[in-house]
Amino acid sequence: MPYAPVNGIDLYYETHGRGAAVVLAHGAGGNHLSWWQQVPAFAERFRVVTFDHRAFGRSRDGEGEAMLGRRMFHEDLRALLDVLGIDRAAVVAQSMGGRTAVGVALRNPGRCTAMVLAGTTGGALNDEVRALQEDHRDSAAGRLTLMQRAVSPALRERAADLDFLYRSIARLNPPRPRDFLAPIPGYTGSSAGRLAEADFPVLFLVGEHDAITPPPVVEACHRAVPGSRFAQIGGAGHSAYFERPRAFNEAVLAFLGEAYGAG
């Protein structure tokens, strides 16, 4: 099994296909297996890299003082690209993976060719976004557990097998501290300005029924990043890539094709 020695851990990864590099960064409910409906389609045109964030899937965090957690996500990906000899890559990020994508791109100028932020703000916050997030937290949907909101209720009704598979993939992840992904108290920063000034195109993508980062929130992030694009996947919840893979793949591949000059 392929592991890369990065930042004191062994990071699990896979590569498929040939061509320009596209990295798929999974969310908190997944791991490299989450992208099973994207890899075959993307690998027809690109070199696709999937990986397990530290403390997810087959990757483990350090122990004791060496347990560095989420703050190393972007450094781990940068180091993985170095190991693989990839100078530049597009990053397709789902939910939690957004912090990885934004971190590696903004801290390593010139290494990102395009970015897709799916079901995530990517840290592109302003007063409008924060107000919408607060309203959502106070709503009935906002009070459900993350696992209850990870996919839309419609998926459970129309495809119980896919819903079961999603939860089975999530159960493969090792246990983590409860506060592993907790927001930094008092943080008021934003990536919006730097994303707007970056030398790569950005696509904000969201499922129509996303109950974690609902469409109004993601669309407000798009407005906060002039020059970015916005797409909504109809009939999908938070995990649009999993629930409506054909529509997701078409939107992302069209965006990547333009970014790489492939039409």
Q: Is the pLDDT of residue 150 over 90?
A: no
Reported confidence tier of residue 41, pLDDT bands at 50, 70, 90: very high
pLDDT at 216: 97
Q: Is the pLDDT of residue 11 over 60?
A: yes
| Least confidently predicted of 61-75, 138-152, 154-168, 247-261 | 138-152
CATH of domain 3-259: 3.40.50.1820
**Whole-number average pLDDT of the chain:** 91
pLDDT more than 90, % of the chain: 78
pLDDT at 180: 76
pLDDT at 66: 55
Residue ranges of the domains in the chain? Answer: 3-259
Q: Is the pLDDT of residue 230 over 80?
A: yes
How far is Cα 255 from Cα 261, in angstroms, rounded to an integer?
10
pLDDT more than 70, % of the chain: 92
Q: Look at strands 47-51 and 3-6 and give their pairing.
A: unpaired
Sign of CA dihedral 84, 192, 7, 23: negative
How far is Cα 202 from Cα 199, in angstroms, rounded to an integer?
10
Phi-psi region of 251 (alpha: psi -120 to 50; beta: other; left: phi over 0): alpha
Q: What is the end-to-end Cα distance of the chain in Å, rounded?
A: 35
* Contacts for 139 with CB less than 8 Å, ≥ 6 apart: none
Q: At what angle do helices 73-84 and 97-107 cross, to 10 degrees?
A: 70
How many residues belong to the chain?
Answer: 263
pLDDT at 144: 59
pLDDT digits (tens, 9 = 90+) for 166-178: 999 999 999 887 7
| β-bridge mates for residue 78, sequence order | none
pLDDT digits (tens, 9 = 90+) for 91-143: 999 999 999 999 999 999 999 999 999 999 999 999 999 999 998 887 766 56
Six token digits for residue 230: 């916005």
Q: Residues 234-243: what's their mean pLDDT?
A: 96
Nearest CA to 46 among 20, 25, 23, 13?
20
Nearest CA to 225 among 128, 115, 124, 127?
124
Reported confidence tier of residue 263, pLDDT bands at 50, 70, 90: very low
pLDDT at 68: 67
pLDDT digits (tens, 9 = 90+) for 59-90: 998 776 556 678 899 999 999 999 999 999 99
